[in-house]
Amino acid sequence: MLELQRNVIFGQFVDMGSFIHCMDARVKIAATLVLIVASFLVDSFLGFAILAPLLLAIGLVSKIPLGYVLRGSRLFLAFLVFILFFQVLFYPGNVPESDYLWHWGILSVSTEGLYTAGILALRVILLYYVTTMLMLTTSLVDLTNGLELILGPLQRLRVPVNELVLVFVIAIKFVPVFIEEMERLARAQTARGFPFDEGGPVKRARRIGRLLVPIFISGFARADTLTIAMNTRSYRGGRHRTKLRQMRASLSDWLAILLVVVWVIVAWMV
């Protein structure tokens, strides 16, 4: 708890200067979208097995240590296991009697239930992994610019693209800020004799409840400050703004996205 940042890396940017970090943000976002679509299309273990080397390669090329990602996903994985537990127990399908491994009232464990839960787990992990990797390797500025450029054509349909992107990016990037804030609060309250570094998981979880009110208050204060800061600097959406850095996709960017698309199609078709 005193080093919460170790256990939650969602929304964090870690600059390792790798090939993936240097890629055009639009290409990274597009590849992420392709993989998100893949998480819905692929519905066999074989399909996910085919995707696995690609994901591993992304992790390796990005130079972000796997241990760091895994440790930083502990809370997420614990939550996933918790959900899947109930998914299996309450699996409602019309399962032939012979498929039941265990049965008691409405609770059951069936091979079909286990299979569905397994696929579901892989889907959620894929979703989480690709979005986390996108954020780990893309700076706030690149992410905003990339999204604005990708969604730019929607502006003709009067969709407030800039505002929406801004809200999305701020929301995501506030996660690490809040995590840091929670850490600071936990430390200060521990010092006063309200220990966050002792007791079992349940006790610790209940203590976190104590942080909610101050976190909300500081969240509103931060949002307020940010609004004022943007207003004083005359922020008014990006419609007529030009970019200091033009994004230009290189040949390697095109090859990368092609690779991802082909790989996903193969995984989907098998």
Partner 1 sequence: MQRDGHPPILELESFSHTYLEGTPRASEGVRDVSFRIQPGERVGVVGATQSGKSTVVDSFAHLLRLKEGQVFYKGEDVAAPGYDRARLRREVGIVFQQPESQIIEDVVGADVAFGPTAAGLSAAETRERVEESLNTLGLPYPEYRLRYVHALSGGQRRRVAIAGVLAMHTPVLVLDEPMAGLDPRGRRELLELLVRLQKDRELTLIVCSASLTDASLLCDRFIVLDRGSVVMDGRAREVLRDADRLAKLDITLPEPIVGAREMQKLFPDFPTDLLTEAELESELLERLGVA
Give the binding site for partner 1 (CB under 8 A): 2-3, 5-6, 12, 14, 16, 64-65, 68, 71, 184-185, 187-195, 197-198, 210, 213-214, 217-218
Point out which residues pair with 108 in neighbouring strands: 103
Name which of 49 and 212 has its Cβ closer to partner 1.
212
Give helix 251-269 / helix 45-61 axis angle, nearest 10°.
160
CA distance 225 to 219: 10
CB 167 within 8 A of CB 93: no
State the nearest-atom distance from the C-beta of 206 to partner 1, in Å: 14
Name which of 169 and 179 has its Cβ closer to partner 1.
179
CB atoms within 10 A of CB 259: 13
State the nearest-atom distance from the C-beta of 218 to partner 1, in Å: 7
State the nearest-atom distance from the C-beta of 253 to partner 1, in Å: 24
Name which of 183 and 253 has its Cβ closer to partner 1.
183
Among the listed residues 28, 6, 14, 68, the one whose alpha carbon sits nearest the alpha carbon of residue 254: 28
**Residue at token pair 């265990």:** 102
Name which of 3 and 43 has its Cβ closer to partner 1.
3
- Phi and psi (nearest 5°) for 135? -75, -35
State the nearest-atom distance from the C-beta of 25 to partner 1, in Å: 20
CB atoms within 10 A of CB 243: 11
State the nearest-atom distance from the C-beta of 183 to partner 1, in Å: 10
Name which of 192 and 245 has its Cβ closer to partner 1.
192
CA distance 113 to 117: 6
